[in-house]
Amino acid sequence: MNAQKLSTPRVGSLTSLSSLQWEALKLLYEAADKACRLGHEIWQFAVEIDQFHAVGLNNTDLRFLLCLGYVEHGQERTPVGATRRIFQPLSALALPERTCFVVTAKGWEAASEESAESNMDICLPMAGPSEVSGSLLEVPCWNAASRQLWWQGSLIKELHRPARNQETVLAAFEEEGWPTRIDDPLPQTANIDPQIRLHDTIKFLNRHHLRRGICFRGDGHGWGVRWMVTDPR
C-alpha cells in the first residue's frame, strides 16, 4: 500500500493559522499595545504559556508560531521582590515551565492586517537589557560627528546646526547602548528647572524627523528619557 502524501499549507502564509493561533497572536498584539500605552518594555507584558493552554492551544500550536517568526519566547526568572520581570533566552523550540511569549515585528504586522485596529497609531516598545536577547528590531545609531540619527538603515533625523541638549541626550543613549530609558543626562544649571528643560529637549528631539520610525518620551516623573518604536514595519 502506497503511503499517502499529505498536503500542508505553505509555512508563512497568513491562511495557514488556525483560529486558535490567530487568537493567540491577537492576544500578544494587545499585550504589546498595552505595554506601549503605559510606557513599558514589551517583555514586561509577556504572556505566560499557561494562558494559551487555558484557551485551548497546545505546544504544537505555539511551536508553529515560533517557526513562522510571529512570536518570541523566553523563560521567566524574576526573583521574589524584583520590580521588573526578567527572562532567560530560550533556544530552538524548547517550552519549559514559566515560558512566556511576545509578538515579533512580523507577527505584529500580520495581526495588524487581520485586526479592525490596523489603522491605529500604536508604538511597539523595544526589549530592555534584562529581557531576551535578539530583540525585535535593531536599536538606533547616533553619529555625533555628522549629527545624524539612524535607525534600520534609514536616516531619521539630522541636526544641521549644533543643538547641545539634543546632542547630549542622543550621545548618552549611544554610549549606554540604547536602553529603553536613561536618566536625564543634561548638566545642572543655575536658575533653570531641569524638568522643564528636559521636557523641552524631548519635544525638540521629536521634531523634523525625516521618516516615521522612533519617538522620544519622558519617563512620567521628569527625571528620565525613553525611546520607542512608532512603526515596527
Helices then strands, each counted (H, E), the chain:
6, 10
**Which pLDDT belongs to residue 14?**
47
Instruction: Please report which confidence band the pLDDT of residue 114 belongs to, taking 50, 70 and 90 as the band edges.
Output: low
Highest mean pLDDT among 50-64, 94-108, 120-134, 210-224: 50-64
Residue 180: what are its φ and ψ, rounded to 5°?
-65, -35
What are the residues facing 227 on neighbouring strands? Answer: 216
Tell me the C-alpha distance between 198 and 134, whole Å: 31
Confidence band for 113, pLDDT divided at 50, 70 and 90: low
Q: What is the DSSP letter of 173?
A: H
Cα separation, 73 vs 138, in Å, equals 18
Structural contact between residues 122 and 29, judged by C-beta atoms closer than 8 angstroms: no
Report how far residue 10's alpha carbon sits from residue 158's, in angstroms, rounded to the nearest whole number.
43
- The one-letter amino acid code at 201 reads T
* pLDDT(136) > 70: no
Instruction: Say whether pLDDT at 206 is over 90.
Output: yes
pLDDT in tens, 36-51: 777 777 888 999 999 9
- Beta-bridge partners for 12: none
φ, ψ of residue 7 to 5 degrees: the values are -90, 135
pLDDT over 50 at 106, yes or no: yes
pLDDT tens sequence across 147-156: 999 887 788 9
Q: What is the mean pLDDT of residues 97-110?
A: 86
The four Cα atoms 70, 71, 72, 75 give a dihedral, to 10 degrees, of -160
Spatial contact of 132 and 72, defined as CB atoms under 8 Å apart: yes
198 against 135, higher pLDDT: 198
Decide if pLDDT at 185 tops 80: yes
Residue 129, pLDDT > 80, answer no
For residue 99, the model assigns a pLDDT of: 95
For strands 87-89 and 47-48, give the pairing.
Answer: unpaired
Output the pLDDT for position 124: 47
Per-residue pLDDT, 1: 39
Cα–chain-centroid distance for residue 13?
A: 24
pLDDT of 7 over the 70 cut: no
Q: pLDDT tens for residues 30-39?
A: 888 887 777 7
What is the side-by-side order of every strand in the sheet holding 181-183? 181-183, 224-229, 214-218
DSSP structure class, residue 92:
T
Residue 232 near residue 36, CB atoms below 8 Å: no
181 forms beta bridges with 226
Task: Specify whether the CB–CB gap between 140 and 195 falls below 8 A.
Answer: no
Residues belonging to the chain: 233
* Model confidence band, residue 101 (pLDDT cutoffs 50, 70, 90): very high
pTM of the model: 0.49
Between 173 and 6, the more confident residue is 173
Sheet holding 99-103, edge to edge: 47-48, 99-103, 71-76, 87-89
For the cut 70, the answer to whether the pLDDT of residue 8 exceeds it is no
